[in-house]
Structure 1
Amino acid sequence: MDLFAFPPLALLLDLTTRALLALTAFLTPLTGGAAAALAVVVVTIVVRLILIPVGVSQARAEQTRARLAPRLRALQQRWRSNPERLQRETLQLYRDEGASPLAGSLPLLAQAPVVGLLYAVFLHPTVGGQPNALLAHDLLGVPLGRSLTTALSTGTMDAATLTVLGGLVLVIAGVGELTRRLLKPALDPAAPAWTSAMVGALQFSTAVIALFVPLAAALYLAVTTIWTLAQRLILRRRYPLPR
């Protein structure tokens, strides 16, 4: 069931689409046919600017988890046969440190409505009972509503589609590799060996998603991954992990 079929959410979807189209019209005299794609990039940057406090909160939470990791491991070893006591002691440790074990996940929940609304605009072929006019625009001849998998399944793959969408997927994968190399998470030494490989593979999940979503959403993903890497590098300097 489509949640955006409900009137309040349908109205939000329509208003957001109209705002993007208005921004596209504003940018057209300056950028011509690339105005809609640039509008997606501009909106993505605005969203990331608004969510900077979320990134700061996540960096602080990561630093706290890394600092408390040795003490948490000690608690796990001491109370591993008593899960209830382990939970109480873990929560007490966080309280004593003025932190919360949910500090890293709550910011993600806070940004979900904003990100979900943007994705809905990019993924809905019709809005307000009319064709989604935003997806009728193109970038270098590739419609914003086309995806790599759609082009392959419908036989509409051409050089422009492969170059633009394939290029975005490669950019996202490249940023994922840089993230894996430059921002290695502090893993529990007692964790299974496959944990490190799984965490590394997660860095490339966005590139996999980009294979299936429309070009507009792929643009959003590319800008977001680049912004996130740059922001995390800056915040890692401000909130370094203990060595």
Structure 2
Amino acid sequence: MGILGDIGHFIMVPLYYIISAVLIGWHKLFTLLGLDPEGGAAWALSIIGLTLVIRAALIPLFVKQIKSSRNMQLIQPKVRELQKKYGHDRQKLAEETMKLYKDAGTNPFASCLPILLQMPIFFALFRLLDQAAKHNKAHGFLTENLARQFGESEVFGKIPLADSFWGATPWGAGADNGAVVAVAAFLVLAMTATTFTTQRQLMAKNMPADAMTGPYAQQQKMLLYILPVAFGLGGVAFPIGVLLYWTTSNLWTMGQQFYVIRNNPAPGTPAFKAKQDRDKAKAVKHPEKYASYDAVAEADAIPEPEQRPAQRVQPKKQTRSQRKTGGKPGTGTNPNKGGTK
């Protein structure tokens, strides 16, 4: 199988058990609520439940990502200063830039972590559904009976969760199924649109004006268009159940990001100004609740500058006569004694 196959097996097997356990738990819940255990509705809702559980588990990572992204935005002026200073020395520029990132507690790749961590889960769900549909093969905690139900489940009566846009078209070597093509195309467009909107939301509302130029801004602008296109092109081959997972995950990200940007925006951004305007309006409307708004709320909204240790002031060098008298140069006075010498 090779070393790559061994690594993949080592990663995927635990994910099969985790994903199947969550899916079965939600499936049993929806079955108790009266849904057909073999119907597609119970399994589709279980996939949505799986998405919610995974995204809830990733909230600490999302918070870290937001903080890192904000720090990246705020240090962009310093990054441009380093580029002007060390533009002739690429090695020195790279060293100083990484040192700046470390001091600021940020990482240029932190924004990709939630997506990267979800990719193995994404592929594990893809394989669970694909293997269950094609071979009734059970993985993780799925039994053969549950695997068969999962693989054969259909939504809206005739649209299998295991079918894809590409597989339901004649050029994809599948039967021409207009209903599957329509639903899959809708989910692919929804996945693409939500990916684009999420990135656009971050750039339009939570990036300072001085962070909209430079390498970091160019990287964000490239991702704004590259990620949706990549997901859109790849989405035509994904089963409807997997598209449902990814679209739900994107909707969660949009809502989570909207909440963070609205309530804790980065300083100097349009979202920060909008929050200040809302706070001022509330202070005018309810002065009894916001009596100390100007003195406290504004100060709390602006992060304190980084505290640096005070530099020790070196004493001025004195002559021999000054050291003997303990006085100031040219005065002959001694601060330890009253009067003059």
Normalized against structure 1, the TM-score is what? 0.81
Of Structure 1 and Structure 2, which has the larger fraction of its residues in helix?
1
Moved more, 113-122 or 63-72: 113-122
- Partner of residue 170, structure 1: 189
- Partner of residue 83, structure 1: 90
Choose from 81, 91, 101 the match for 1:74. 81
Q: How does 1:116-127 map to 2 (within 5 A)?
A: 116-125=123-132, 126-127=137-138
Is the aligned partner of 1:144 residue 2:161?
yes
For residues 106 and 156 of structure 1, the distance between their equivalents in structure 2, rounded to whole angstroms, comes to: 38
SS at match of 1:228: helix
Moved more, 64-73 or 193-202: 193-202
Deviations 1:126-147 (A, max 9, x none): 3459694322212222111111
- Partner of residue 52, structure 2: 45
Choose from 172, 193, 210 the match for 2:235. 210
Q: Do the aligned residues in 2 keep the contact of 1:94 with 1:100 (CA within 8 Å)?
A: yes
- Partner of residue 27, structure 2: 24
Distance 1:7 1:130, change over 3 A: farther
Q: Do the aligned residues in 1 keep the contact of 2:22 with 2:50 (CA within 8 Å)?
A: no
Unaligned runs of 5+ in 2: 270-341
Is the aligned partner of 1:240 residue 2:266?
yes
For residues 96 and 196 of structure 2, the distance between their equivalents in structure 1, rounded to whole angstroms, comes to: 37
Choose from 65, 69, 72 the match for 1:65. 72
Q: Do the aligned residues in 2 keep the contact of 1:123 with 1:213 (CA within 8 Å)?
A: no
Distance 1:102 1:199, change over 3 A: closer
**What amino acid maps onto 2:34 in structure 1?**
L
For residues 118 and 247 of structure 2, the distance between their equivalents in structure 1, rounded to whole angstroms, comes to: 17
**What amino acid maps onto 2:224 in structure 1?**
G
Q: How does 1:174-189 map to 2 (within 5 A)?
A: 174-184=193-203, 186=207, 189=213
Q: Do the aligned residues in 2 keep the contact of 1:146 with 1:215 (CA within 8 Å)?
A: yes
Distance 1:83 1:45, change over 3 A: same
Quote how far apart the aligned CAs of 1:231 are.
1.1
For residues 203 and 5 of structure 1, the distance between their equivalents in structure 2, rounded to whole angstroms, comes to: 24
Distance 1:157 1:24, change over 3 A: farther
Q: Do the aligned residues in 1 keep the contact of 2:122 with 2:242 (CA within 8 Å)?
A: no
- Partner of residue 161, structure 1: 180
For residues 182 and 7 of structure 1, the distance between their equivalents in structure 2, rounded to whole angstroms, comes to: 37
Q: Do the aligned residues in 2 keep the contact of 1:20 with 1:40 (CA within 8 Å)?
A: yes
For residues 193 and 67 of structure 1, the distance between their equivalents in structure 2, rounded to whole angstroms, comes to: 12
Distance 1:234 1:198, change over 3 A: same
Is the aligned partner of 1:97 residue 2:104?
yes
Quote how far apart the aligned CAs of 1:45 are.
0.7
- Partner of residue 339, structure 2: none
For residues 7 and 100 of structure 2, the distance between their equivalents in structure 1, rounded to whole angstroms, comes to: 42
For residues 198 and 98 of structure 1, the distance between their equivalents in structure 2, rounded to whole angstroms, comes to: 24
Q: Do the aligned residues in 2 keep the contact of 1:63 with 1:242 (CA within 8 Å)?
A: no
Provide the aligned C-alpha RMSD in A: 3.4
**What amino acid maps onto 2:213 in structure 1?**
P
For residues 267 and 191 of structure 2, the distance between their equivalents in structure 1, rounded to whole angstroms, comes to: 25
Q: Which has the larger radius of gyration?
A: 2
Quote how far apart the aligned CAs of 1:217 are.
0.6
SS at match of 1:240: coil
**What amino acid maps onto 1:136 in structure 2?**
E
Q: Name the % identity.
A: 24
- Partner of residue 284, structure 2: none
Moved more, 14-23 or 139-148: 14-23
Unaligned runs of 5+ in 1: none
Moved more, 140-149 or 26-35: 26-35
For residues 143 and 103 of structure 1, the distance between their equivalents in structure 2, rounded to whole angstroms, comes to: 37
